[in-house]
């Protein structure tokens, strides 16, 4: 399937707002120099919704979202074909540096900068953007930490190193860091896979909060998580996108047998 069918369902029943795709992938093929890891993937990531990508390990979920902000191409040997659109514009025509300020990313393992304090971690992107005004930086750092539900825990130790926090706090710090540059969209690659259930719950809560202002795409191998946080779910298998649709449809009456096998646990 080269082009995705337009989504059949509205975000929430009763809304008539037309759904816009913040990010769109058309006929994407990608690899690392060897056999293709992604083949003819087409997907829309809709504005101010959470799109979950599920699928067994190694099916290409990380590769797919790394294509979206052109982080794929920083790996040696990486290849990519097809179209990726941000608000309808081909991202290949954009400066990757500017693209990544619009499309932020949170990684599987929390990765705060070890040489920086909590404050400096969040401010890092602003500094890159050339924001010099200290008051403005402080204001945005606080705003981002609040949005990432971390402010109350760290407001008294902003000068402490970011790596001194717990795993869950570190991941929220990374979310705050990504939010500080006010991206259009945020990509999260299994952000909770290294965290305990309580820390996971806090992150899921904050995702539901921040999706009010930005577009989210979350990779997860935890199907309950996909069900809890996402409006739409895409199921991938062996480098192909099998099916995408509203999350409840995918989980209750998937149209593809492979999806059904996977979600009912007969697979992977």
Partner 1 sequence: MAVTAVLTWQLAVNSALTWKQFGWSFLWSSTWDPVREVYGALPFIYGTAVSSGLALLLAVPIGVGCAIFLVELAPKRVAEICAFIIELLAAVPSVILGLMGIFVLVPVVRAVEPGLTAGLGWLPLFQGEPYGVGMLTAGLILSLMVLPYITVISREVLLAVPRSLKEAMLALGATRWETVMKVSLPYARPGIAGAVFLALGRALGETMAVTMVIGNTPQIKASLLAPGYSMASVIANELAEASSDEHLHSLIAIGLVLLGISLVVNAAARAMIGLLERRA
Ligand X SMILES: Nc1ncnc2c1ncn2[C@@H]1O[C@H](COP(=O)(O)OP(=O)(O)O)[C@@H](O)[C@H]1O
Positions in the binding site for Mg ion (CB under 5 A) = 62
Q: Give the interface segment with partner 1, choosing from 26-34, 43-51, 69-77, 191-199 (CB under 8 A).
A: 69-77
Asked if 91 is part of the footprint of partner 1 (rule: CB under 8 A), the reply reads no
Closest CA to 177 of 123, 214, 227: 123
Helices (H), 148-256: 151-154, 167-179, 197-210, 223-229, 247-252
- Where in 69-128 is the site for ligand X (CB under 6 A)? 75
Q: Are 114 and 62 within 8 A, CB to CB?
A: no
Q: Walk across the sheet containing 21-31 and list its strands.
A: 36-46, 21-31, 79-86, 89-90
- Where in 42-61 is the site for ligand X (CB under 6 A)? 55, 57-61
Beta carbon of residue 67, minimum distance to ligand X (angstroms, whole number)? 10
In the complex with partner 1, the residue whose CB is nearer, 101 or 258, is 101
Element spanning 220, H or E: none
Asked if 111 is part of the footprint of partner 1 (rule: CB under 8 A), the reply reads yes
Q: Does residue 88 come out as left (phi exceeding 0), alpha (psi in the -120 to 50 range) or beta?
A: left
Beta carbon of residue 219, minimum distance to Mg ion (angstroms, whole number)? 6
- Residue 174: name its binding partner from ligand X, Mg ion, partner 1, none (Cβ under 5 to 8 Å by kind): partner 1
**Contact set with ligand X (CB under 6 A):** 32, 37, 55, 57-63, 75
């Amino acid at each position: 399937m080269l082009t995705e069918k337009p989504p059949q369902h509205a975000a929430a029943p009763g809304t008539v707002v037309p759904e816009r795709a913040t990010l769109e992938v058309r006929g994407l093929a990608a690899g690392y120099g060897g056999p293709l890891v992604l083949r003819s993937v087409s997907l829309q990531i809709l504005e101010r919704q959470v799109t979950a990508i599920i699928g067994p390990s190694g099916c290409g979920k990380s590769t797919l979202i790394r294509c979206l902000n052109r982080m794929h191409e920083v790996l040696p040997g990486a290849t990519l074909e097809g179209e990726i659109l941000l608000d309808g514009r081909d991202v290949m025509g954009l400066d990757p540096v500017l693209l990544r300020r619009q499309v932020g990313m949170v990684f599987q393992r929390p990765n705060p900068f070890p040489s920086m304090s909590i404050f400096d971690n969040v401010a890092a992107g602003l500094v890159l953007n050339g924001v010099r005004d200290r008051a403005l930086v402080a204001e945005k750092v606080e705003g981002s930490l609040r949005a990432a539900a971390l402010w109350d825990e760290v407001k008294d130790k902003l000068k402490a190193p970011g790596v001194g926090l717990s795993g869950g706090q570190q991941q929220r710090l990374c979310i705050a860091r990504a939010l500080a540059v006010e991206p259009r969209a945020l990509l999260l690659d299994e952000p909770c896979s290294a965290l305990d259930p309580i820390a996971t719950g806090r992150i899921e809560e904050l995702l539901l909060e921040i999706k009010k202002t930005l577009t989210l795409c979350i990779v997860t191998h935890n199907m309950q998580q996909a069900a809890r946080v996402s409006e739409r779910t895409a199921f991938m298998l062996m480098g192909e996108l099998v099916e995408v649709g509203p999350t409840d449809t995918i989980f209750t009456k998937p149209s593809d047998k492979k999806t059904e096998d996977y979600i009912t646990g007969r697979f992977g």
